[in-house]
Structure formats: structure tokens, C-alpha cells
Amino acid sequence: MRKRKMMNVCVCLIAFAVLLPLSACSPKQEVQRNDREEAAGIPVTFLINPATNLSENQELAEAFNEEYEGEYYVDVEWLTESASGYREKLKQWNILDEMPAVITDAGFDYDFYTLLTENKRLVNLRPYMDAIPQWKAAVEPEILDACTEESGDIYLAPLGSGIQSYAGIIYNKELLRQAGYETFPKTWEAFWDCLDALQAKGITPLSLHGYGSYWVPMLFATSYLYGTQEGQAFLDQDFPDSYQTPEMADMMEMLDRMYGYTYADAVEIDYDEAEVRFCSREAAIFANGYWMIQEMPDNVKENMGFAPFPGNILMNSPRMSAWALTAGYDAKVTDGAAKLLAFRVELDARNSEKLQNKEGVSALECSYIDAVESVSTVMPNYQMKWEQEIQNDFFTERLPGYLDRETDTGTLLKQMDERLEQIRAKK
């Protein structure tokens, strides 16, 4: 039913040609290959971090394949792509009827998620959760509620807890130490002072980007926004009717200020390049979540620390971790895919317990847990609150001009509202 990627076919043919002479004299290898052929493959695409050449889902794929050897296996296409790029590919695959059996990032784009559910492109997971009671029991009630439709159907499969889903500031301890800082600043005033101190030492303070999405700068900016009651009320809204508010104006001016502390070409580079530069010590401060820490090599982790945003704020949203199953695969593949989602929650629970207990983890992960346990304010992910076309297309088109002083704040916010009217007129 589903088309295979040509690259996968070529890789398989090359691998077969190489192994054919060996298999003739290796009964064990022949048996292993036959077991794989009899097992049901579960097509899934996982991302590889271009900065580290690692994937946070590699452990999951390997552990599942070992647990269900001979019955199911995860048939992975490893993709070097940004998260926003992957989400765009999902839309293309949906049009071409080429979506994998399991999709990640299923809860980020509300409009796309609604399109999939209305067109019955996703599998209702409730019967599978009922059949695997330990799966449902392992998900915290408030997280499950956030992923449950009014009808009671469940199309999103989140992790059981939010412990590995927080985002904050990751910083290079050595570079901050050169500027006279042993710990990360706790207030915005001290934050700006720290950036000035880094710059005075010839160190690029922030690793920001622009092209494709403004994820890292927007994490900083929305945490700044969330530091006031008015800002919290604005960001807590689902899809606001207007962006022309004093809170948004203040946030955009803060965003503009940050770009004075980053690379000259920041708006021209994408997230991946910004992460590569940060991990290569070309800048001192970044913003992201635990998923990035998971993918860091040990020699990079040892120089890093984690801290909340100024004001003791972290970001987390229950739907961020949600995956989904796509309809159209045969029953055995779908059954195996559901077991993969359940296994993911089980594996996450084990790893989360070790993380919380600080068992065999790095100093960076210890600082992450310390921040999570002492956080005073958790803000939602703006990506799930605002239209995707605003976050991606509009920002990519308009923010470079704003940051170059070609457009003032009032005009930019008016343009955002005009784009918002166009978006809603199409629905």
C-alpha cells in the first residue's frame, strides 16, 4: 500500500549484495534474516541531529527490536532534518499517501492535526490503550486529558510524564566563566549584563537563528513575555484574535535587542546551523529542551550547564511529546505500532526514574533536574498557541526586515493581524 523510499531500496540492495557470499556459509545469519522477514516491519522516520550525528530515538528503536525480535521490528528511515522541516515533510507525505505508520511531533500543528483526524488519517488509540492497561496507567491523568478529544477518542500518544520535556537555557560554563560568571543570571537585568560581559571578552553571547523558524529566539522572547501577568494571560490564549497588544510589542522589542548579541548572519542560518555553532563553542548561550541534551556527546556535555529562563521559568506542554499512528496499514503493522507507543512510555518511565534519581547521569543532566525540581513557573509552548503560518511563513518573511529596522514594531504587529485575517478567511 505504501511506497518505499528509493534510498532505502538502494541501501537494501547494496547490503544484500555485500552479505550474499557470507550468508551461503552462515546458517545463523540465514536464520536471523528469515526471522526479520517473518516479523512485521513498522515504518517510522526518526531525525538525526546534524550537530551530533545522534538521535534521541536510537535507544528506543534498538530496545524495541530486541524486545519483540521475530514478531515486530522498527523499520527506521533516519533523516537529517530540522524538526520544522520534518513537520513540513509530514504534510507532503500525507498528500502522497506516504506517511510512515508512526509519526512524531503529531500535536504541534493544530490545523494539520485537525485535518488528519477529520479525514480519518489517524488511528484511535483508545482501544489499544484499553488492551494494554499498563500503558494507560503510566500516563499522568492531566497529560492524557490534554491529548483526549471531547468524544473520548485518543489520537495522540504522549510520554507518561513531563520530566524529559522541559526547555530552558543551555550554556557553556567555561565561556561564562571567562566573562566572570560561575552561575547563570537569574534576572533579565543580570542576563543583559552577562551578554555585555561576554561580548566585552570577544565571545558571541547567543547562538540565534532565523531561517525556517525562530525557535531558539522565540523561546527566549516568550519566556520574557511570560514574566508578567499580562504576558501570561496573552500566551495562555489559544490562537489570539489580535497580536497588536502592548505585551507583544514589548516582546518583539526584546527579540530585536537579542539580535545585537549574536552572529551577523543569524537571520540567514537555520536552527541546525545555530546548534552546530553552539556545540562547537562559537557562542556561549542557547535555548532548548532535554531532547537536545540526550543527543549530546559526552565531551560536549561536560562543558555545559542548564538553567531556567530569568524569572525561574521553564517551558513544557503535554502535547509536545505526542506521537500518533496513521491509518491504512494492515492490522499486524498497526498492532505493532501501538505496542511501540506503549513501549516508548515504558522505556521513558525507566529512564525518567534514573534521571530524577540522578543515577549515572552527567553534571549537565543533574543541573537540568535541579532546574525542573525548583522551577516556579512553567509556560506553554507558543508553537501550540499560535498559527503555524504566523510562526513559520510570516516570521521568515517579515522578521529580517524588522530586525534590520526596515519596519517598526507597530507596523509589524499590524501586518501579523492582517496575515491572521487571511489565514482565518481560508478556513
156: left (phi over 0), alpha (psi -120 to 50) or beta: beta
Sequence-ordered alpha helix ranges (H) in 42-96: 58-67, 83-96
Asked whether the beta carbons of 159 and 147 are under 8 A apart, the reply is no
* Dihedral, CA of residue 249, residue 255, residue 256 and residue 261, to nearest 10: 160
Neighbours of 270 (CB within 10 A): 17
Residues of the chain with CATH 3.40.190.10: 40-164+320-357, 166-316+387-426
Query: In DSSP terms, which residues pair with 167 in a beta bridge?
Result: 289, 315
b (16+ CB within 10 A) / e for 222-243: bbbbbbeeebbebbeeeebeeb
Nearest to 176 by CA among 156, 208, 203, 151: 203
Neighbours of 360 (CB within 10 A): 8
Nearest to 328 by CA among 93, 135, 68: 93
Tell me the CATH number for domain 40-164+320-357.
3.40.190.10
**How far from each other are the two terminal CA atoms of the chain, in whole angstroms?**
31
- Stated as kind and residue range, the H or E segment containing 379 is strand 377-379
Q: Which CATH number fits domain 166-316+387-426: 3.30.428.10, 3.40.190.10, 3.30.1490.20, 3.40.50.2300?
A: 3.40.190.10
Between β-strands 377-379 and 40-47, what pairing exists: parallel, antiparallel or unpaired? unpaired
State the Cα–Cα distance between residues 166 and 320, nearest whole angstrom: 10
The beta strands (E) that lie in 208-346 are given as: 285-289, 304-307, 313-315, 324-325
Which three cell numbers, joined as nine digits, stand for 370?
A: 535541579
Kindly report the pTM of this predicted structure: 0.82
How many helices (H) does the chain have, and how many strands (E)?
A: 21, 9
80: left (phi over 0), alpha (psi -120 to 50) or beta: beta
pLDDT at 13: 34
pLDDT at 55: 85
Neighbours of 207 (CB within 10 A): 28
Nearest to 249 by CA among 417, 413, 414, 420: 413
3-state helix, strand, coil in the chain (%, to 5): 55, 10, 35
pLDDT in tens, the chain (427 residues): 433 333 343 434 333 333 333 333 333 333 344 455 689 999 999 998 777 777 889 999 999 999 999 999 999 999 988 787 898 899 999 999 999 999 999 888 888 999 999 999 999 999 999 999 999 999 999 999 989 999 999 999 999 998 989 999 999 999 999 999 999 999 999 999 999 999 999 999 999 999 878 999 999 999 999 999 999 999 999 999 999 999 999 999 999 999 999 999 999 999 989 999 999 999 999 999 998 998 888 999 999 999 999 999 999 987 888 999 999 999 999 999 999 999 999 999 999 999 999 998 999 999 999 999 999 999 999 988 998 889 888 999 999 999 999 999 999 999 999 999 998 888 6
Nearest to 325 by CA among 167, 188, 129: 129
State the Cα–Cα distance between residues 40 and 75, nearest whole angstrom: 9
Query: In DSSP terms, which residues pair with 157 in a beta bridge?
Result: 323
